[in-house]
Amino acid sequence: MAEIQEKGDSGKGGGKKRAKKSSTKVDMTPLVDLAALLITFFMLTTTFNKPNTMEINMPVDPENEEEQIALKASNAMTIILGENDNLYYYFGLAADNPEVIESDYSANGIRKVLVSPQVKGNEKMTVMIKAMDASRYKNVVDILDELKITDTRKFALVEYSDADKELFAQQQIGQ
């Protein structure tokens, strides 16, 4: 509360009357209480940004591998993440010696391939993502983002196999 204190006139001298000087003093205690209440209110009512995450369901390791269903070559697309942010893809299986095509992470690169009728038109199409040892974690995140953007439902993170290494050696890619 604001308080005004006035000094009384001593009454001495009987001469000229001067205007009384009034000093003002502002009591800051209620303002400190109000500030504490406001800080408490905003801390309790603020919601913090939650990080956006992509849910990935990891498969359970089967006890016998005979239960796994073999993937047909017509329903397979493989994306290989190479070193120096290189990206390669091919349709089919590595054992069939398909043509490996180099691409990039742009909208006119792998995204255009993922929305093509060859991929989107086939409901059974499974995209396999294989990362070379020299690829970066950022590349895996980028390709998962592209799969999310293109609404690709069936994909798997697969180990870069010896068949892929032989395919790259035959076509002299990444040498």
Q: Are 1 and 27 in contact (CB under 8 A)?
A: yes
pLDDT in tens, 99-134: 888 888 888 888 888 888 888 888 888 888 988 888
Q: What is the fold of 72-170? A: Nucleotidyltransferase; domain 5 (3.30.420)
Q: What is the largest CA-CA distance in the chain?
A: 119
The domain ranges of the chain are 72-170
Q: pLDDT category, 10, cuts 50, 70, 90?
A: low
Q: Are 134 and 81 in contact (CB under 8 A)?
A: no
Return the structure tokens found at 37. Answer: 């209440």
Angle CA(142)–CA(149)–CA(91) in degrees, nearest 5? 75
pLDDT in tens, 127-165: 889 888 888 889 998 998 888 888 888 888 888 888 888
pTM over 0.75: no
